[in-house]
Structure 1
C-alpha cells in the first residue's frame, strides 16, 4: 500500500478541452490534447483508466490521523467510490484498479459494473505475516473490460513472489529472498480483442511494492512483469523473442502497462520502461546481489514504452504546484509501447484545476474518496 497523492498540481502544456461538471471523475479537471496529428474522421477510440482506490484496510491512524474521521470512514467513502466507478464506466473502456478489496469486489463492484456492461478479472494478494483479518478482506488488482467493445480472450494472474523462485528468471540469492520474495505484490496480464477493428491489445495491471526504501525491488518486479508479458505475446503470436521484437518494431503489436508503479519520473522503473533497458551495474540504487539476471543490463525485450502523461509531467507548472501532502509526484501510469501503429494517443485527463485546490487540504476528503486520482488516457485505434 502507499500513502501518497497522485500528482503535483500543474497547468499542462497542450490544448485544454472542456470538462463535464456532472461527472465525478471529470469535475474540476480538464482533458488535454496530446495527439501528434489530427485524428481521422470516424476513427474508433478507446479510453483506458487506472485508479488506486485506497483500501479501507490501509486507513491506518498513524498515516491518516490528520484527516477528519468522517472522510476516513468507509460508510462515507464507499458511496463516493461507487459513484466514481459508475462515472468511470461512462468514460473508460478498460478500467484498471489497485487496492480493490476482494470481498467488496465480489459483493458490490463486480455486479455493479456488470450492470454497466463490464466483465472483470481479479488477482488477490496473499496475506502478509501481520495479517489477522479474513483473507477476503485482502486487496488486489482488477481489470474491467467493456464487453460491448472487447472480447476478453485470455488472462494470466501474477504473483511476483512465486516467479522470483523460478530459476528460469532468477538465481536464488540472500538479497532476493529477503528483499523481493517476501512481498505479496500481484499483477494481471490480459489479452483482448477490439470487436470493431479486430485489434489485439495486451494489458497489464499492477501495484508495485510501496516502500521508497526498495527501488531495486520495484525494478525487479517491473522486469519480471515485462518478461511475463513478453511470454504472453510470444505465445499468442507463436513466435520467438527475435520475431516478437520485429513484430513490435513494425508497430503490429499493442501493449499497455497500467497501474500504480509507486515510482516517480526520476526513478529506475521509469527509466527502465521508457528506454527498454537499465544498466544496473552502474546504478548505486541497485546495490544488491540478485545473481546473473540478464547480465549487467536489464532489458524489457519490448523496445520501450511511453507514458501518456509524459508531456504533462515535463511541464514547468507541474514542477511548481503541489498539494499540501507529504508526497506529490506521479506514481500511477498508463504506458503504451512506443512503436504501436494501432494505438494513437489522443488526450489525457489532467489534475484538479488549481482554482479549486483551496477546498482540498487533504485526501481523501468530502469529494475525493482516495489519496489517488483516476488517470485516463484516450487512444485512437487504426
Structure 2
C-alpha cells in the first residue's frame, strides 16, 4: 500500500467524490482535485484546513472493514497426546500471555495517523485489550506499557473480577515526577490466577540501578552516556502452585526501543538474566511447603499453616538449585530474531566483540562476553517465530517473545499468526480490530521432571586484535 505517498494529483478526472480509503494516506501533504465536480463539503475541508484535514476526515468516516479470521492455535503435540495429558491428573500445564498494550500517552495521532481517531481513543482500546486477555484465560498475563493510572483504576479492578491478582511497577522515572505526572508513567504488570497460585515474592529490576552497582562498569563512559539515561525495568514474580507446590518464576520486561541502541538492549538483557539467575537460586533455598494434613487431623484443634494446604497427593518438589525451577522470561524485547539479544537468550552466550555492542565498552561484557545457564528457548522457535508481533508502516516484524527454561518445561501449543490476507489490506496497527501496535502472544506449557541445564557455550577464543578494547 502506498502509505508513504506525499503528493497526489487528480486534476480534471470528473470525480464527484473521494473514496474514504484515501484516509489511509496518512502522510499525504498535497492533494490536487481542481477541475473535478467534487461535492462541496470535501472542497471546503481542503480549502479551509488543507489536505491533512481531508485525509483525517476520510480516515475517520471510512466504513469498518470485516474482522480477520480468528488466530488459530498451533500444536506441538499430537491430538492423542493432548487427550492423554488432559486425562492424566499428574500432568501439570499452564499458559502465558504476553502483550504490549500501547499506553494511552503514546497513542497519538502524530505517531498513528493512519488509525481512525475513534479507534485510537483509550476508552475504545482498553475494552478490546481486556476482552483479548479474558478470552485467552491464561494462568499468567504479562503486560507492557501499562501506565500507573490505568493499572490501578482499570486493569487491576477489571481483572480481579476474572480471578486475577497483579504485580506492577512503573519505569524508574516515576520516582522523580510529581503526583499528577506519575499517573502517566508506564511500566510492566504480571497478573496470575489467584485461585491456582500463591505469590511468594515480587522483585523490581531497574537496569540502570543494577548497572551502577557493578564495579566493572564504574569507569565505563559508554555506560554513563548510553545505558544510565534509560529507565527500563523488569518485574519478577515468584509463585507456587496451590495444588502441587511447583514453583514458577515469571519475569516480564520492556527493553529500549531505538534500533541505534542495540548495545544498550544487550546490556539490559544481560543484566536481566543475571538478576533472574540470582533470584532463582535464592528461591530454590526456600524450604518446600509441608505436605497436606493427614485425615486424622481433620476436626482436630490443629490449625493448618499456609504451607499445609497442598491439595495434591504427591509431595511438593524440592529444588536443589535455581535451574530446576520453571522459568518464564517474556516481554517486548524490541529485538528481531537476527539480533544479539535473541542470540544471547537462545544460545546462552555471545562473544565480547559481537557486532551489536557497536564497539562500545561495557566492562566484562565486552572483555569476556555474555553467558547464562538458564537454557532458554523461545516458545515459538520450534515452529518459527511469528512473521510479526509489531506492525506499523515503518516496521513489521517479531520483537515480542515468551522464553522458557527448556530443562523443565515443554511447549504444548502457541497462538498463531494473523491471517495474511487481512494484513494485505491493513496499513498498520492499531486499528478497529487490534487495539495496540503489538499482537498478544500466548503459549501453553507443561511442567516435566527437570534435567541438568545445558552448560553455557564456552567463550570463543579470538586473536587479541579482534577483541573489543577495554
| TM-score > 0.5 by shorter chain | yes
Cα distance between partner residues in 2 of 1:130 and 1:361: 38
**Contact between 2:101 and 2:129, CA under 8 Å: does it hold in 1?**
yes
Matched, 1:208 2:251: no
Q: Does the CA-based 8 Å contact 1:179-1:217 persist in structure 2?
A: yes
User: What residue number does 1:345 align with?
Assistant: 411
* Equivalent position of 1:81 in the other structure: 129
* Residue 376 of structure 2 is aligned to residue 305 of structure 1: yes
Cα distance in structure 1, aligned partners of 2:401 and 2:240: 22
The residue that corresponds to 2:437 in the other structure is 371
| TM-aligned CA deviation for residue 169 of structure 1 | 6.7
Counterpart in the other structure of 1:14: none
Give CA-to-partner distance per residue, 1:20-50, whole Å, 9 cap, x none. Answer: xxxxx99620000123893434223211010
Give the distance between the partners of 1:131 and 1:63, measured in 2 at CA. Answer: 24
User: 1:253-304 CA deviation, whole Å, 9 max, x = no partner?
Assistant: 21111111111100000000011111022436441011234842211242x3
User: Contact 1:128/1:184 (CA < 8 Å) preserved in 2?
Assistant: no
Structure 1 residues 370 and 323: alpha-carbon distance in aligned structure 2, compared to 1, 3 A threshold = closer
Q: Secondary structure in 1 aligned to 2:396?
A: coil
Q: For residues 392 and 356 of structure 2, what CA distance do their matches in structure 1 show?
A: 31
Distance 2:144 2:355 in 1: 29
Moved more, 164-173 or 207-216: 164-173
Judge conservation of contact 1:123–1:158 (CA < 8 Å) in 2: no
In the alignment, which residue of structure 1 is the partner of 2:338? 266
Partner-residue secondary structure (3-state), 1:328: strand
Runs of 4+ in 1 over 6 A off after TM superposition: 128-133
Q: Is the 8 A contact 2:340 2:354 kept in 1?
A: no
CA distance in 1, matches of 2:432, 2:356: 42
SS of the equivalent of 2:96 reads strand
SS of aligned partner of 2:282: helix
More relative contact order, 1 or 2 (CA 8 Å, 6+ apart): 1
Q: In structure 2, what is the equivalent of residue 335 of structure 1?
A: 403
Structure 1: gaps spanning 5 or more residues: 1-24, 240-244
CA gap of 1:69–1:308, structure 2 versus 1, over 3 A, is same
Asked whether the 8 Å contact 1:53–1:100 carries over to 2, the reply is: yes
Deviation, 1:67, is: 2.1
Q: Which residue of 2 aligns with 1:49?
A: 97
Separation of aligned partners in 2, 1:62 and 1:75: 19
- The reply to whether residue 112 of structure 1 matches residue 158 of structure 2 is yes
Does residue 1:35 correspond to 2:74, yes or no? no
The equivalent residue for 2:181 is: 134
**Match of residue 6 from structure 1:** none
Q: TM-score, normalised by structure 1?
A: 0.82
Q: 1:197 to 1:344 in 2, by over 3 A?
A: farther
Q: Structure 2 unaligned segments of length 5 or more: list them.
A: 1-66, 287-318, 449-470
Q: Using a 3 Å threshold, how does the CA distance of structure 1 residues 120 and 27 change in structure 2: closer, same or farther?
A: farther
Most deviating of 260-269 and 188-197: 188-197
Tell me the equivalent position of 1:4: none
The match for 2:141 is 95
Q: Kindly provide the CA deviation profile for residues 298-352 of structure 1, in whole angstroms up to 9, marking residues without a partner as x.
A: 11242x311011133368xx49xx9673211111100011212xx2210000111
Taking the aligned partners of 1:160 and 1:130, their CA distance within structure 2 comes to: 16
Structure 1: how far apart are the matches of 2:320 and 2:369? 21
Compare 217-226 and 349-358 and name the one that shifted more. Answer: 349-358
Q: Which moved more, 1:252-261 or 1:169-178?
A: 169-178
The answer on whether the counterparts of 1:159 and 1:185 sit within 8 Å (CA) in structure 2 is yes
Paired with 1:144 and 1:153, the residues of 2 have a C-alpha distance of 14
> Offset at 1:234?
1.5
Highest Rg: 1 or 2? 2
RMSD of aligned C-alpha atoms? 2.9
**TM-score when normalising by structure 2:** 0.67
Q: 1:114 to 1:246 in 2, by over 3 A?
A: closer
User: What secondary structure, in the 3-state scheme, does the structure 2 residue paired with 1:201 have?
Assistant: strand
TM-aligned CA deviation for residue 238 of structure 1: 3.3
Q: Choose 54-63 or 270-279, whichever is displaced more.
A: 54-63
Partners of 1:128 and 1:30 lie apart in 2 by 39
1:326 aligns with 2:361: no
Residues 93/57 of structure 1: CA separation in 2 closer, same or farther (3 Å cut): same
In the TM superposition, what is the alpha-carbon distance from 1:189 to its structure 2 partner? 1.3
How many pairs align?
343
